[in-house]
Structures are given as structure tokens and as C-alpha cells.
Structure 1
């Protein structure tokens, strides 16, 4: 630690028991006021030269000197009338420097380092280890359809895209027409880009009720209803449908 400066002020004087100044008095420096305190000999003058004896000047004033390398803020001097405490004369300046420093305790740097792999700083990259989850949200109940594990909202509080506690994903854009864009440049005809399963979703499930394949084909396990489809049905085989309806199509083959 840095040495702190002592003495050199109007209050730092060598006095007798009666309070008179003692020019040229030789004093000792201690690390405490009690009888069990240790004498401090690790002192220097303002040039850095060792101080062998603390000597008052011709006016009885205690000159400037630097305290021990341990950085003590207070020392006790004794010129024969008892020990008197001296506080470092630069304590106020160092306090101001400490208060105005960007990160005086290095706690911000420590916090940023510890959170680097948990919560990224704005604009920072977050390395995710292979096979690991970046974040987990534990919801109170899947029956909670109003709470959100994740929510995007505007400054006025209007909610947009969010993940509800029930697991539902609601896609609401803020002034953008394309609400959902799925890129699948390497998907083939046998791979599902969108797969709606009739069981719990996994990356390998094939028990799907609706699929959009990588080649653009759409496969539905049920009927497809649209304004340009109507109620027409398509049949194929050697025999005509048993209960045909208007608009049905039958492709006969032997």
C-alpha cells in the first residue's frame, strides 16, 4: 500500500505537559495509544529518505513525514508529554478521489466477470457450452395462462411477443408485417420445417398431425378447410365411393 502523509499543519506541534511548544524536540511514532502499542520506525521524509528520528522544527512544529508502508491512516506521536494521535493530512483528498473513481473497489469489474457467462452485457457475445441450456424459467404452474416467462413490450407497457407460463408462444410484431420467418436452406423433402405433434414435442418425433416439409409440401392428418377448397373430397381406387357427395372427385384405377 502507499504511504500516507502526516504532520505539517498548524495543529501538529510538539508540546510539553503544560502546552508549551518544544522547538527541536525528538519524538517517537506508535501504532496505537495503549501501552501495548508497537513503535513505528518505518518512516520517510517527503523525498523518500528514511526518517531515523521525528524532530520538531525551530518553532516546535511537526514537519511533514510519510507513515509506514502499510498505509496507516492514523499514528500516535510522543514528544514526552504522552501520545497524541495524528490523522493523515491527505485523507480528505483521497476520499474525494475514491468517491469520484469509476470503479474504486473493482466490484463492477468483478460482477461483470462473474456474470459474463450468465447475463451478457449489451452488444456482447454469450458463449453457450455444447449440450447446455443458456437459461431456464421455472413457472409457478402451467395453468397460469396470464403470467409470462418472457415478454417483449414497448415503453408504454403494451405487450407484444411473449412466452406464457403455460408454454404458449404468442407472436405479436411491433410495426412489422412478417410476424414469423423460418429459414430452412438445408432442409430436404424428408425433413419437417414445421411439425405439430399429437404428443409432447421432441426434435425427432414423427407422430405429427401437421407438417410443412423442407421441399414446401404440406402434410395434414385431417381435412384442410379453406375458402378456395370448399367441401370437395378426393377418392381413388377400383370402386366408386359408397356415399358420394356433390363435388367429390373419384380417380378410378384397376
Structure 2
């Protein structure tokens, strides 16, 4: 640790019991005012050279000296009439440096280190243990109920995740708005599952499914420009109330 500077000011003098300066007086330095205080001998002069003892100059002033390498802010000197406290003369300089330093407490460095595990810097990856949620968002005062909102530089909203669970995707240009990859999925596995109950990856409550082989399963009517109104039946018996255009494939 750094040594702090003491003495060398107009108020730092060696005095006798009557308050008169004592030129050349020899004093001792302590780390406290009590009887149990420890005497400090690891001192240097203003140039950094070790000094054996603290001695006043010919005018009785205590010359500037550096305290122990313990970053002490206050020392007690005794020139024979009791211990008198000396406060480091550079405390103001260190305070000003502390106020202007970018990260004087290293709190920013600590915060950056801790947050890196939760909110990585741009271009890095988010890593979370299996089964753990890496992000939980709560909407409080957004009238639109946006949990996540991505916008372009012109302020146009592109991707929004609402607190209702709805996801809106508005792409830029002619890029594909949604692309789902399902490597290794078999024909019987569901890639997309729309359920009439709470969301689930299984077929429970499913009303619309896309399978791994590309087949589509719908519990309701599929309407498209190239589909007519025909119905398809199969089984040993014809439909109970056939309509024009119905198709019956008999088997059994």
C-alpha cells in the first residue's frame, strides 16, 4: 500500500509544555493515542530515504515525512509532552482524485464481472444452466403491454412480445419472417403444436400441428383458395347425410 505524507505545514511544530517551539526536538511516532499503541519506526523523509527518528528543524517545525506503508491517515507524534495527532497533508489530494476517478471503488468492474454471467456484452453469448430461466420480464407501465420490443432506428416496431403471450413479427424488407429448424425430427414428432389448452409440446389439446415430415394435421376445416367444399369419408358405410361433391372411399 502507498505511504501517506505528514508534516511540513505551518501548524506542524514540536512544542514544550508551555507551547514554545523546540528546535531540533526528537520525537516518536505511534499508531494511536492509547498506552497500547504501537510505535512506528518504518518512516521515510520527503525524498523516500529511511529515517531513524523524527526530528524538528532549527525552527521547531516538523519536516515533511512519509508514514508507514499501511495507508495510515492519522499518526500520533510525541516530543516529550504527550502524543499529538497528525493528519496526512495529502488527504485533500486523494479525495479529489477519488472523486474524479472513473471507478474509485472498483464497483463498476465488479458489476461488469457479475453482470457478464446474466447480461453479456454485445456479441457474446447468454449461457444458462439447463432448466433455468435466463430472462423473466414483468410489464408494469407499458400501455401496450410490451414485454420485449425491438425497433429500427426510425422508430418502427418490428418484433414485439406482449404480456398476453402474443408474438408479433414484422420483418424488414423481404426477409423470411419466421424460420423454424427441426433437425432429426421424425414423422411422428411435432414441430409446431397449437393447443386449445395451455401451450404444450405434445398433442394434448392440439387443434393444429405440423409434423417433422412436413405433414399438417388440423382438427377443423382448412380453407384455401385452391380447396373446394368437398368432404372425404372412408369406411364400410357411406356418410349419413352426403352432400354434392362428397367423396366416399369404401373399405371393409
Same fold (TM over 0.5): yes
The answer (yes or no) to whether the contact 1:21–1:60 under 8 Å persists in 2 is: yes
The answer (yes or no) to whether the contact 1:145–1:165 under 8 Å persists in 2 is: no
Query: In 2 relative to 1, CA 214–3 (structure 1 residues): closer, same or farther, beyond 3 Å?
Result: same
For residues 145-175 of structure 1, what are the alpha-carbon distances to aligned partners after superposition, in whole Å with 9 as ceiling and x for unaligned?
9423333345676544233222222323355
Query: In 2 relative to 1, CA 60–176 (structure 1 residues): closer, same or farther, beyond 3 Å?
Result: farther
The answer (yes or no) to whether the contact 1:234–1:248 under 8 Å persists in 2 is: yes
Other structure's SS at 1:212 match: strand
Tell me, in whole angstroms, the C-alpha distance in 2 between the residues paired with 1:80 and 1:109: 48
The answer (yes or no) to whether the contact 2:193–2:201 under 8 Å persists in 1 is: no
Tell me, in whole angstroms, the C-alpha distance in 1 between the residues paired with 2:119 and 2:164: 24
Q: Does 1:233 align with 2:231?
A: yes
For residues 51-100 of structure 1, what are the alpha-carbon distances to aligned partners after superposition, in whole Å with 9 as ceiling and x for unaligned?
44311122333222222343221224344566554332332333343334
Q: TM-score, normalising length from structure 2? A: 0.77
Query: In 2 relative to 1, CA 98–243 (structure 1 residues): closer, same or farther, beyond 3 Å?
Result: same
Aligned position for 1:147: 145
Aligned position for 1:38: 37
Query: In 2 relative to 1, CA 197–145 (structure 1 residues): closer, same or farther, beyond 3 Å?
Result: farther
Other structure's SS at 1:29 match: strand
Aligned position for 2:161: 163
Aligned position for 2:132: 132
Tell me, in whole angstroms, the C-alpha distance in 2 between the residues paired with 1:104 and 1:139: 35
Aligned position for 1:194: 192
Aligned position for 1:87: 87
Query: In 2 relative to 1, CA 237–76 (structure 1 residues): closer, same or farther, beyond 3 Å?
Result: closer
Tell me, in whole angstroms, the C-alpha distance in 2 between the residues paired with 1:229 and 1:65: 97
* Between 192-201 and 90-99, the greater mean CA deviation after superposition: 90-99
Aligned position for 2:73: 73
Tell me, in whole angstroms, the C-alpha distance in 1 between the residues paired with 2:106 and 2:212: 52
| 1:130 CA drift (Å) | 2.2
Tell me, in whole angstroms, the C-alpha distance in 2 between the residues paired with 1:200 and 1:208: 10
Q: TM-score, normalising length from structure 1? A: 0.77
Tell me, in whole angstroms, the C-alpha distance in 2 between the residues paired with 1:157 and 1:17: 78
Tell me, in whole angstroms, the C-alpha distance in 2 between the residues paired with 1:188 and 1:75: 79
Aligned position for 1:203: 201
Other structure's SS at 1:45 match: strand
Other structure's SS at 1:114 match: helix
